[in-house]
Amino acid sequence: MKILIINGPNLNLLGTREPDIYGSRTFESYLIELREMLAGDEVEYYQSNHEGDIIDALHNADCDGIILNAGAYTHTSLAIADAIKAIQIPVIEVHISNVASRETIRHTSLIAPVCQGTIAGFGLNSYFLAAQAIIMG
């Protein structure tokens, strides 16, 4: 299976950004472990702080499934939701934190209705769980 992980705004700062919420590990360090755990599968990674770039990455994706942590765009971006709707590849919404237990604004996801499902609250392990969902179909 070919899996594409797309991380949105501020997720390039994992490791130093609000470590009490997001942990103190960089995504690059986690990615090495994730690729080892998913040894028979190919894991591509893309991060952008820009909405249009995330939309382009969705349009240009060539893989079996996409793991998308859209960061704060989750709660605001109809354009990203439309892009997910426009492609044929299944997209799994992922969050490191349990957004349901945080501020009310984070309880709304504009992308959830157009994603296959949502995994949130398991720290970086949310990405592994999402990959399992793609691999298991």
Could you list the residues that contact ligand DQA (CB under 6 A)?
10, 69, 71-72, 74, 95-97, 99, 106
Q: How far is the CB of 105 from ligand DQA (least distance, A)?
A: 8
The closest alpha carbon to 30, from 131, 133, 104, belongs to 131
Q: What is the DSSP string of 79-121?
A: HHHHHHHHSSS-EEEEESS-GGGS-GGGG--SSGGGSSEEEES
Nearer to ligand DQA, 108 or 132 (CB): 108
The closest alpha carbon to 74, from 84, 87, 60, belongs to 84
Active site residue 22: yes
Active site residue 59: no
Nearer to ligand DQA, 27 or 38 (CB): 27
Residue pair 89/66 in contact (Cβ under 8 Å)? The answer is yes
For residue 5, what is the DSSP state? E
Rounded Cα gap, residues 114 and 111, in angstroms: 6
Q: How far is the CB of 1 from ligand DQA (least distance, A)?
A: 23
Q: How far is the CB of 74 from ligand DQA (least distance, A)?
A: 6
Catalytic amino acids? 22, 95
